[in-house]
Amino acid sequence: MFLIMRYIAKLLKALASEASPAQIAGGVILGMIIGLTPLSSPHNLIILVLILIFKVNFGMAILSFTIFSGIAYLADPLFHSFGTYLLELESMQETWTSMYNNEWWAFTNFYNTVVMGSFVSALILSGPMFPLVMYGVVQYREHIHAKVQKWKIVQAFKGTKFYTIYQTVSRVRG
């Protein structure tokens, strides 16, 4: 419960922060890629570096990673099937073989069904997800944020000691 509340608070805080919708969407997309693909895959190191050096929202990236890791656990058989389909595509065999023979490509583990299936799925999802998240953030800030602040549950939550401590910690962390 504490964990869920913390995530909701983080989400609401990020949505209402000064971060631009593109930064929030960027965080969600990059966190999603790490979350959907096997964590130990070498490409995730590159995504992590991208999160660190680009001005994407860090909190949203972590939140997105957490949520999509759970989804990935359930979607794993689908990723495996999709990866199998891609790796067995007749027209791609020559490409896969030459990639496999190149050590740098081989290092990415692209030849694994789950890595391939989940990574391509994440890339496909990124296309519509990025504008959708941006649109969602704008809509939230314009129409929903003020209403949410008036919700009794939010008022009650803000009145708790936990929220006070959370705010203090957040301020200290910057």
Between 121 and 166, CB nearer to another protein = 121
Inter-residue contact 113 to 83 (CB < 8 Å): yes
Closest CB 115 distance from another protein, rounded Å: 7
Amino acid at 160: T
Cβ-based neighbours of 10, under 8 Å, separated by 6 or more:
59, 63
Residue among 2 and 73 whose Cβ is closer to another protein: 73
State in angstroms the smallest separation of the CB of 71 from another protein: 13
- Segment contacting another protein (CB under 8 A): 91-99, 123-131, 137-145, 146-154? 91-99
Q: Which of 13, 66, 97, 124 binds another protein (CB under 8 A)?
A: 97
Instruction: Report yes or no: 16 and 141 within 8 Å, Cβ to Cβ.
Output: yes
* Closest alpha carbon to 63 in 32, 41, 38: 32
Q: Would you say 48 and 34 are in contact if contact means Cβ atoms under 8 Å apart?
A: yes
Q: For the chain, how big is the Rg over CA atoms in Å?
A: 19
Give the interface segment with another protein, choosing from 46-54, 139-147, 151-159, 162-170 (CB under 8 A): 46-54
Question: Alpha-carbon distance 139 to 11, whole Å?
Answer: 15
Question: Smaller CB distance to another protein: residue 69 or 157?
Answer: 69
- The window from 6-14, 103-111, 143-151, 164-172 that contacts another protein (CB under 8 A) reads 103-111
For the segment 70-89, give every residue that binds another protein (CB under 8 A). 73, 76, 79-80, 83-84, 87-88
Q: How far apart are CA 72 and CA 92, in angstroms?
A: 25
Footprint on this chain of another protein (rule: CB under 8 A): 38, 49, 51-55, 73, 76, 79-80, 83-84, 87-88, 93, 96-97, 100-101, 103, 106-107, 109, 111-115, 117
